[in-house]
Structures are given as structure tokens and as C-alpha cells.
Structure 1
Amino acid sequence: MTPPPDTSPLLPPHARVFVAGHRGLVGSAVTRRLTAEGYEVLTRDRAALDLRDAAATEHLLRQERPDAVVLAAAKVGGIMANKTFPVPFLEDNLRIQLSVIAGAHAAGVPRLLFLGSSCIYPKHAPQPIGEDALLTGPLEPTNEPYALAKIAGIAQVRAYREQHGASYISAMPTNLYGPGDNFDLETSHVLPALVRRFHEAKRDGAERVVLWGSGTPRREFLHVDDLARACLLLLREYDDASPVNVGCGEDLTIAALAETVREVVGFSGDIVWDTSRPDGTPRKLLDVSRLTKLGFSPVIGLAEGIRSTYEWWLRRQ
């Protein structure tokens, strides 16, 4: 395989990269990208390694001695899952982060990328949200445990940089979607849930689809393959304690998203909004100027990305 042309000392050609969470939405995309660029990707299935087990994780990293670690493993879910299971959203994510980041340092891994979430920012943060908005106000209550765990991960990365000089960095992606997404209606995020709801309504000949909330909150969506491109760029070129927002810099209402999904899927019925259900954060648009200055811009449009994701999911059925 041809080695990557990049000669950055932060992630040199032929680097061996351990991807934690390689079967998930983010981890699988990062794995695809790294492999395509000529890097050697190291992985372990959940049955072989529980990343919450600090001793086992450190043992693996000492054995493999990767040049870098991408921490994409996390317990994730939508509003319903976060409201129903706050304990594992807090505790599992804390355990994974403590285990992988501390284990990487103990094993002498020189480079690490921790992937967080845009939900770390205050519910009513000024828009677009810059990285300096962190810890400036109350969080969205529906996903506070998950957000607190991710904030702790940022703090852990910063602490290892400050105390040990570790070249560890953090990235905060916006709402993601794409191949590998979770389409379970009980635990999925909004975009795959909409795809499945409209698909099943079309299949069953339903006259309408009832959706949660008012449809007025605004969200930003990034295809996971674009995120993977950004991750590789950061691994090669970024080395600072401040987290980096990863998004497309544009948002739309949930109602507009629903209309786009309905058109892609081909459902001709009505959309009804159940306003007794929670909306969540009113708006969440990231300021991506820090990433843009590094030369990043997304290449996959929303409608195109939804269409390819829908086709991927259909093939899996």
C-alpha cells in the first residue's frame, strides 16, 4: 500500500493507530480513512477488550505500542436514551475515557485524539458556539450526564498535556450521521430516527408521521466521512490544549430536516408535531473557524449524505 504523502512529525507515514470504538459510527469512518491513507489501524472487538477495564486496556496498549490512539468509543444516544439511562451515559463514558487516556500515557503512546461532542456547551450559548464557550453556563438537562463525561475527557487531555507534556488533543464534532449509524428508534439520534420513521410509514402506507417537539430547534449535521477527514487533519497538524469544533458551519430547523428526509425516502403523507414532547437545546451551531484555518471544509452535502445513508441502511435490512 502506498504510504501517505504527509510528513508531519505529529503523525508520520506508516504510523500505527489504535482506534478505540472501531465498529461505531465514528470509529468505523476513522478506520476507513486511516486505512485508505496508508496507516496501519489496530483494533479490538468488545468481546476481546472491555475498554472500561483500565488494567486490560493498559496491557493491550503496552503490548501493541501504537504511535497514536483515536478515542472514538462512547455510549451514545438520543434524548430518550439519555433521559432513561443517565447512569451508564455518565459512568460508562467516564470509565472508557479514564481507561484509554491513562492507559495510553502509561504505555508511552505519543499521540492521542479524544472525540467529544457539541453537547458539552451551555444550552443557551451564543451562536455560533466557539470553543471558549465551554463551562460558561448551564448544560441542556436532557443530556447533562453525557456532556459532563465528555467535559471530563477534555479536562483529562489538558491535564496530561500540562503535567506530562503529552501531545494529546480533543475534537468536538457536531451532530453526525452516515454509514454505521444507529437506527434503533429507542436509542438513535434524530436523523437516523427520521429516516426509519418515514421509511416505515411509506412501507405501511401511513397517512402521517408524528414527530417529537415543535420542529423549530436548529441543528447542524456533518457526514461522518467528513468528520474522519477532519480527524486525520488534526492528527497530522494540530497540537494545542484547546478543543477544536468539527462541523460544517451551517444549520437548519428540525422541520426542514424532516422535509429533506421525507423527500429522500419518498414518503408523501403529512408531518404532525407533538409539542408535548421536549425540543432540547433551541440551537446548536458550532463556530468552526479554528478548523477552517487548518484548511478543512466538508465535501458531502446534506441531501446527498442522507440519500447514501438511507441506501446503506436499506442494504443492511
Structure 2
Amino acid sequence: MVAPAEASWPYPEAAWRHVVAAIDDSGYLASKIASCTKATVEDYLPLAPDLKGHDFDKSTICHWRRGGVKTPRREKMVVLKLTLLRLDDPSWRRWSDEQRMTALRDAIAFADEVWRLVVESRKSRTVIGVGKMSARHARTVHLLGEYGALLLQHVNDDDMAEVEAKLAVLHQLAGDGDDVRYWSALALVANPAYEAPSSHEKLLEQARCYAAEYKRAGEHSTARIYLSAAAKRGDGLAAFELGLMADFEGNAQEAVDHYQRAADLGCLDGQLRAERLKATVA
């Protein structure tokens, strides 16, 4: 029903105003609203099981009022709107199934509108940040050179957040924790289905997948950026792939070095290739 996404992006003013307006228009105190959210969640669990655990207290509403929180989860926005709808109708206990579903749809629409405002704010902030070349973007260019600058130009180009996801992977391979959180958050805002690599192995696998895409497109220099970064983080398969590329291009000594590195990282094929190529070079 509701995409379980929470992004580490500052609470945008437009979204904040939308949420606060809904609270203020209800005429209820934060304490009253908060005290009813648990019952709302329990009542709607059969229809919306993903709302479980998303009731909240008075302090949460106070944070929303100040705009001093990170982007709230959609589930909490659904719970908020459902609670307000129930409070607004004293006969809510006698709602028919159709009325309950209508309230749920209205609550989801409210949450979607908050999220739309978040995305719109994110888009404008990203464009401004790129234009001014923020310190964060400067780090990306320093790390990735022209390719980094190219990626920054295409931030926010598609709903799948592929550019943001690539930036998150490359910064994670470089060990830039703060930048990883930043780009992952933007990827999640643009694409709620986005999932960051859940382990080191998944991270290396994702880097190799990106490299393969660029290889198929004939962009070998870009593929090497991903493979080199993964090899530096201990990926024997990436090092082996670098060896194959150098070997194919006729750079025997470079290929041997990569194959040997792959072997040192546990890739047996790297050792075999290194020995065969060494014999031909000698």
C-alpha cells in the first residue's frame, strides 16, 4: 500500500506547511491527536498491515510543527490523516467497510501529496546545489573527474534515480560515509523502491553490474572506474575483469598486474591467467 521509505533529507517547507495545515485545521491539540494514533493503527491493521508500529506521540507532532525533522515516513502521514478523519466524525465507530476504505484512500492521497512536495523541493535544491558547486559536489568531481561532473549534470533526470544510486555506490566504495547517506537519501526520495546494497558483497556486485553496462555500451574507461574502485575494496572478480580488458587491448604487463591482484584476492582464474601471460611476455 504505502512504500516504506524514510529519507535523510531536511523537511521541505512546502511539505511541512501541508502537514501543519492539516493538524491546525482539525482544531485538536497535538496531545489529543497523538493519543488516538495507536487505536487508529490497531483498527486499520486488517486493511493496512504496514501501518503497524507507526503510531506516534505528541513530541513527533511538535517536531513536525517546527519543521525540525527529516522527511517523515509515508505510513505516519497515513496514520495522521486517518486519525484526523476519525476525530472529525464522532460516528466513525459505525463506519461501513466502504467508508473505512474511503478514509484509507483519502489518507494515502494525503501522504502522497506530502511526498510529492518533498520530491519537488528536492528537485529545486539539487539544481541549485549543482549550479553553485557545493563542497559535496566538489568532492564528487575530485573523486571521479569528468565522469563525476557528468553524473552531477544528470542528477534528477529520471524517476528511477539511477544517477543518484551510482553516486552512492561510488562514494561507498571510496569510504565517504556522509556522501553515501546523502546520495542514498536522494535516490530514495526520487524512487521509493530504491534499495541500497545491503552488504559489502552486494556493493561489489552492484559495481560490477554498472561496469558491465558501460562495457556493453563501449564505454570502457567508465567501466574501469567502477572496476578499479571495487578492486581497491578487495573484489577479486573486478580485478580479474580489469585484467581481461587490458589483455584484450594488448596491454600484457598491465593485464598481468591485474590478474596477479585478482589472484591475491582469491580469484583462482587470475592466477592461471597471470602465469600463462607471464610465459608469453617472457
**TM band (smaller chain):** under 0.3
In our comparison, the structure showing a higher alpha carbon Rg is: 2
The structure in which a higher percent of residues are strand is 1
Q: Which structure ranks higher in relative contact order (CA pairs < 8 Å, sequence separation ≥ 6)?
A: 1
